[in-house]
Amino acid sequence: MINPSASDSVASSFAVVGADLFATTSHGVFRSTNNGSNWSAVNAGLTNYYVHTFAVSGSNLFAGTGSGIFLTTNSGTTWAEATSNIITLGANTLAAAGTHLYAGMDDGHMVSSTDDGTSWQRDNSFSGAPIDIIEIGTTLIATAAGSGSGLYFSTDQGASWTKPADSGLTKSTGSTNGVFAVIGSNFFVATGLGIFRSTDSGANWTPVNSGLSDPHDFGDSTEVQTLASSGANLFAATEFSGIYRSTDLGEHWIQVNVGIGEFSHVGCLAAIGTTILAAIVDTNSRSSVMRSVNNGLSWEAIHTGLPTTVAFNRFIVRGTNIFAITFDGSLFISTDVGASWSPIDSGLMGNQVRSLAIKGTNVFAGIALNGVWRRPLSEMISSGVSVSEQPATFKLDQNYPNPFNPSTVISFVLTARGNVTLEVFDMLGRRVQTLVDQAMDAGSHSVKFEAVHLASGIYTACLTTSGTHREMKMILSK
């Protein structure tokens, strides 16, 4: 009987390359050059020694391990990973920005694709386990857990990532999606100890929790689940205290739970123009999707096509299309701002959707233990449901009311997705406020302009996107 050198090894697979015999064991790969009389370990380059199987192609030997597929071209002397261009694990988060699609994988790595998922490249400059990724103008911001937890920034479409000092953050972000929100140049992040705001691209953070409370949390700390912004309104969903709203960049918060219930658990939020959606679980463990069209002052339940026994953990908005992922991995779509929903997860292997991203005309779904799947958006909006037509005209509407004191609403229409800035200038040409500075989808949008601290006079709103510019005069009369 001839065995590989490790006395407690059990060979599970064999392969022959030329005159060499290879065996897989729980201790890696062993090679014999004398028909099995003697064996030596050949594992240089393997990151996981638990080898399941072999495959041979000419002089190339492939080994399937617990960490992916590895290749040797020199009879096992050295091994190199051969799965950098495919995804074999589940994707916890997906995001699309520019020409890139990003996926945060189960093994804690970030990968990206520039060909709609046909091939993938691992990003080794991202040292944490990716949780969530958002696009703000030309900047990507990602949260990460694990040993590299914190915030990461990229200004080159994910080619490289930097991790600021995160000065002032007293706890890194947790595992909840939707922990970001942006209003103008203000970044907000939700953590296990409340909400923090940065005005310098994440270098320094200040807590903004006045008015927030959570009677089910320890002490006076606040467990914020998710954030969403609509114009100048910032919404926060807490663990057991429902929804809060701030109209002054987080300085002060008030509860807006009429129709929801004070002690409801809110799993996720979404803003579509001036409409806000909230997925809740009430004190009787019933699940509902709630909608507000008045900045949270009141809420109504919208159930058509949705299960009431399964909670939702994420909304993804693209134009007027809203995608919803449940905690059990089901996927739904609404094309009428949440009034009705349809399931769209037929054909997905395992039916366990963890993440979703929309890029161009395709929808990408990250599936538990089954990689990333792609499907044309047009296939999901059949059976009488149609995608809203792209607006034909880029325009900036007159604010309403006008004259105003101290707030007014500015509405505009985008003909295509792109980076948008909406700024307000005084009569001397000085910029007094940036209302929007981020990527936005095609369609109609509205932003609230607060002028509490400004003097009476004429102000100019300037809207810019993709080299196109519009201006509009407003009168502040106090």
* Sequential pLDDT tens for the chain (478 residues): 444 544 445 556 788 888 888 888 777 888 889 888 888 899 888 877 777 777 777 788 878 776 667 788 898 889 887 655 555 555 667 777 667 777 777 666 777 788 777 777 776 666 666 666 776 666 777 777 666 667 777 777 777 777 776 666 665 444 344 577 888 778 888 876 778 888 887 778 888 988 886 544 444 445 787 888 887 889 988 777 788 999 999 999 998 888 876 666 787 888 877 788 888 877 677 777 888 888 888 888 886 777 766 677 778 777 667 888 877 777 888 887 777 888 877 666 555 676 777 777 778 777 665 667 777 877 766 433 333 444 567 888 888 888 898 988 898 888 888 889 999 998 888 889 999 988 887 887 888 899 998 998 889 999 988 778 888 889 898 8
- List phi, psi (to 5°) of 379: -75, -20
What is the Cα 285 distance to its own chain's centre? 27
Name beta bridge partners: 94.
103
Distances, alpha carbon 39 to alpha carbons 4, 75, 457, in Å: 5, 13, 87
- Indicate left, alpha or beta for 461 from its phi (over 0: left) and psi (-120 to 50: alpha): beta
Q: Which residue has the tokens 């039916």?
A: 351
Distance CA 164, CA 226 (A): 22
From CA 315, how far away is CA 306, in angstroms rounded?
14
Q: For position 317, what pLDDT does the model report?
A: 78
- Name the phi and psi angles at 349, rounded to 5: -65, 125
In 83-171, which ranges are continuous DSSP H helix?
A: none
Tell me the domains of the chain and their CATH numbers. 13-81 (2.40.10.480), 91-381 (2.130.10.10), 395-476 (2.60.40.2550)
Under the phi-then-psi rule, with left for phi > 0, alpha for psi from -120 to 50, and beta for the rest, what region is 406?
Answer: alpha
Q: CA-CA distance, 206 to 150, in Å (whole number)?
A: 15
Q: What is residue 59's predicted lDDT score, i.e. its pLDDT?
A: 82
Distant-in-sequence, close-in-space partners of 201: CB < 8 Å, separation ≥ 6: 139, 153, 164, 187
Are the C-beta atoms of residues 119 and 95 closer than 8 Å to each other?
Answer: no
Q: What is the distance between the alpha carbons of residues 201 and 356, in angstroms, rounded to a whole number? A: 26
Strands (E), 115-264: 121-123, 129-136, 139-145, 150-154, 180-183, 186-191, 194-198, 206-207, 224-230, 233-238, 243-246, 254-255
Task: Say if residues 429 and 180 touch (Cβ distance below 8 Å).
Answer: no
DSSP-assigned letter for residue 350:
G
User: What is the per-residue pLDDT for 153?
Assistant: 79
**b or e along 322-354 (b: 16 or more beta carbons within 10 Å of the residue's beta carbon)?**
bbbbbeebbbbbbbebbebbbebbeebeeebbb
Q: Are 132 and 178 in contact (CB under 8 A)?
A: yes
| Residue 85: strand, helix, or coil | coil
Tell me the pTM: 0.59
Measured CA to CA, the distance from residue 186 to residue 252 in angstroms comes to 15
List strands edge to edge, sheet with 150-154: 129-136, 139-145, 150-154
Nearest alpha-carbon partner for 377 in 354, 359, 391: 359
Q: What is the pLDDT of residue 386?
A: 38
The Cα 354–Cα 328 span in angstroms is 9
- For residue 403, whether the previous peptide bond is cis, meaning omega lies within 30 degrees of 0, is yes
* Strand stretches in 161-298, DSSP E: 180-183, 186-191, 194-198, 206-207, 224-230, 233-238, 243-246, 254-255, 265-272, 275-281, 287-292
Q: What is the pLDDT of residue 423?
A: 92
Cis upstream peptide for 130 (omega within 30°): no
Closest CA to 128 of 158, 176, 156, 163: 163
- Given this model, what pLDDT does residue 220 score? 43
